[in-house]
Amino acid sequence: MIRTRFAPSPTGFIHLGALRTALYTYCLAKQDAQGVFVLRIEDTDTARFVDGATDAIYNALRKCELVWDEGPDIGGGYAPYIQSERKSLYADYARQLVDSGHAYYCECDKSGNTDTVRKPSDKCPCRDKKLTSGVIRQRIPLDGETSYQDEVYGTVTFPNTELDDQILLKTDGMPTYNFANVVDDHLMGITHVVRGNEYLSSTPKYNLLYKAFGWQPPKYIHVEQIMRDARHKLSKRDGDAYFEDFLSKGFIVPAIINYIALLGWSPRGDIAEQEIFSLAELVQYFDVGGLSKSPAIFDIDKLRALNGKWIRTLPADEFERLASDFSDNLRALKGKLNNYPLLIELLQKRTETLTDIENNIDFLLNLEKFDNSLYNNKKSKSTHEIALELLTGVLPLLETITDWTAANLFDTLSAYCSQNSINKNTLFHALRTALSGKAVTPGGATDLMDILGKQETINRTALAK
């Protein structure tokens, strides 16, 4: 039975890289009918604890539908799931290691001396003393090498002389991340560990710990970093590294999940050309063999494109609800237009991020004064003068139209053009410009006429000058 865990620190909002780790971890567990996805909060650094961060983690995971089966809020057979509440347990295990000779008390740092040597090659004087207090350090073998199996990288080997006598238990009685991880992963029966590859070089120390305890290590799956560019990680300081950042920029959850899944993992075989994946499909198709060994540069354009595709798959009412959250104008327009559903339909086809909407529809609410040069258009064979003449000419016809729908308007105006030897494009361009004052609009002339309604269309057309 597969048991995986996502083990974030409550230090702020959730980083995209962490979310991706959670996603892969979740997929792995859910591929097994009996699989269990555990949420564990690693708050052993009391100084970095941020109030509310745990709730932020819950919220983000829930929004993404990465539902955990065991965790601090719902419990489970291995509670508690918050490390600070397991404090005494780690101390017991650390002392056990001291008793068996795999760890020792160290007082070297008591004086605040940071130059203290710790590597086996320059072994710490405390290693051979019988101390009973201080931090507890792991006793790394003086020579030889330690290797471990990684599901992505294969066999990775480190000389023991490169490994620190790392601290297991801090002076405040809290375990270090590295120690708490080993103890908890074992106690909680975790079978697969997915984590960033910044842990690649500390993993041999984990295996030494597992060996000292006589425990079976889990399978390790190290995934590469998400980069901002070739040299820099997608950093929290960039202001666009958090899941929440993207939500507020108008990206929708399934698109974000889809995109980050593909940053570092790719489908192979029969589905190698598929690029749209729902969460359920990711669970179905995710495989460790498709994970990349090299860093991936985050590409916002690709995310935008994917977001647009996902938006187009939404039911109209769902799109309308999401769009309304992002656009004051849209909310203000609801109930005031002749054909609001048409506007929604047109917007859905051309929206990449929800934030795009607001400024694309402002003209529907208020027609601002605009530059007459907008009437000039080569392709439509239009100039300001020609446009005004056509608009004046068509006004009486507009008054007579009773079936005010985009389709009928299109037919009627097309017929009018051919009867009067008018270039259809020229008239439509003039109308679209007069109604919007914009070069780019959510729809064509007759769409806008339908959306705005007869009276407003006539008013705006008459106002054109």
Partner RNA sequence: GGCCCGUUAGUCAAGCGGUUAAGACGCUGCCCUUUCACGGCGGAAACACGAGUUCGAUUCUCGUACGGGUCACCA
Residues in 205-244 at the binding interface with RNA, rule: CB under 7 A:
225, 227, 230-233
Question: Binding residue for RNA (CB under 7 A) from 53, 103, 443, 456?
Answer: 443
Question: Binding residue for RNA (CB under 7 A) from 32, 45, 69, 244?
Answer: 45
Q: What is the closest distance, in whole angstroms, from the C-beta atom of residue 33 to RNA in the complex? A: 25
Q: What is the closest distance, in whole angstroms, from the C-beta atom of residue 159 to RNA in the complex? A: 6
Spatial separation of the C-alpha atoms in residues 53 and 72, rounded to whole Å: 14
Tell me, yes or no, if 236 is annotated catalytic: yes
Q: What is the closest distance, in whole angstroms, from the C-beta atom of residue 293 to RNA in the complex? A: 4
Burial of 116 (0-12, 13-18, 19+ CB in 10 A): middle
**Catalytic annotation, pick one of 123, 236, 309, 424:** 236
Spatial separation of the C-alpha atoms in residues 323 and 350, rounded to whole Å: 12
Q: What is the closest distance, in whole angstroms, from the C-beta atom of residue 373 to RNA in the complex? A: 14
Q: Residue 194, interface with RNA (CB under 7 A)? A: no
Residues 318-337 that bind RNA (CB under 7 A): none
Spatial separation of the C-alpha atoms in residues 4 and 24, rounded to whole Å: 10
Residues 277-306 that bind RNA (CB under 7 A): 289-290, 292-297, 299, 301-302, 304-305
Binding segment for RNA (CB under 7 A), chosen from 66-74, 185-193, 259-267, 314-322, is 259-267
Taking the CB of residue 275, how many other CB atoms lie within 10 A of it?
Answer: 15
- DSSP β-ladder status, 145-150 and 154-159: antiparallel
Element (H, E) at 135: strand 135-138
Q: Residue 66, interface with RNA (CB under 7 A)? A: no
Q: What is the closest distance, in whole angstroms, from the C-beta atom of residue 66 to RNA in the complex? A: 18
Angle value at C-alpha 309, between 305 and 310, nearest 5 degrees: 115
Spatial separation of the C-alpha atoms in residues 226 and 204, rounded to whole Å: 24
DSSP for 136-162 reads EEE---SSSEEEEEETTTEEEEEEGGG
Q: Which is nearer to RNA, 35 or 464 (CB)?
A: 464
Residues 12-41 that bind RNA (CB under 7 A): none
Spatial separation of the C-alpha atoms in residues 308 and 352, rounded to whole Å: 4
Q: What is the closest distance, in whole angstroms, from the C-beta atom of residue 364 to RNA in the complex? A: 13
Tell me how many residues contact RNA (CB under 7 A).
84
Spatial separation of the C-alpha atoms in residues 135 and 225, rounded to whole Å: 32
* DSSP letter, residue 291: B
Spatial separation of the C-alpha atoms in residues 295 and 298, rounded to whole Å: 10
Question: Binding residue for RNA (CB under 7 A) from 273, 371, 403, 465?
Answer: 273
Q: Residue 7, interface with RNA (CB under 7 A)? A: yes
Spatial separation of the C-alpha atoms in residues 437 and 431, rounded to whole Å: 10
Q: Residue 5, interface with RNA (CB under 7 A)? A: no
Nearest to 7 by CA among 174, 137, 190: 190
Residue with tokens 């977001």: 307
Q: Residue 198, interface with RNA (CB under 7 A)? A: yes
Give the contact letters, 67-106, x = binds to RNA (CB under 7 A), - = no. Answer: ----------------------------------------
Q: Residue 307, interface with RNA (CB under 7 A)? A: no
Nearest to 130 by CA among 105, 157, 111: 105
Binding segment for RNA (CB under 7 A), chosen from 64-72, 330-338, 363-371, 445-453, is 445-453
Q: What is the closest distance, in whole angstroms, from the C-beta atom of residue 34 to RNA in the complex? A: 27
Q: What is the closest distance, in whole angstroms, from the C-beta atom of residue 7 to RNA in the complex? A: 7
Q: Residue 9, interface with RNA (CB under 7 A)? A: yes
Find out whether 380 and 426 touch, Cβ atoms under 8 Å. yes
Question: Binding residue for RNA (CB under 7 A) from 19, 26, 70, 109?
Answer: 109
Q: Which is nearer to RNA, 173 or 393 (CB)?
A: 173
Taking phi over 0 as left and psi of -120 to 50 as alpha, with beta for the rest, 239 belongs to: left
Q: What is the closest distance, in whole angstroms, from the C-beta atom of residue 299 to RNA in the complex? A: 4
- DSSP β-ladder status, 226-227 and 296-297: parallel
Question: Binding residue for RNA (CB under 7 A) from 447, 456, 457, 460?
Answer: 447
Q: Residue 405, interface with RNA (CB under 7 A)? A: no
Burial of 93 (0-12, 13-18, 19+ CB in 10 A): buried
Residue 276 CB partners (closer than 8 Å, separation 6+): 258, 306, 309, 310
Q: Which is nearer to RNA, 76 or 295 (CB)?
A: 295
Give the contact letters, 334-373, x = binds to RNA (CB under 7 A), - = no. Answer: ---------------xx-----------------------
**Within 13 Å and on the Cβ side, how many CA atoms surround 435?**
28
Residues 120-179 that bind RNA (CB under 7 A): 135, 153-154, 156-159, 162, 164, 167, 170-172, 174, 176-178
Question: Binding residue for RNA (CB under 7 A) from 432, 434, 451, 452?
Answer: 432
Residues identified as active-site: 236
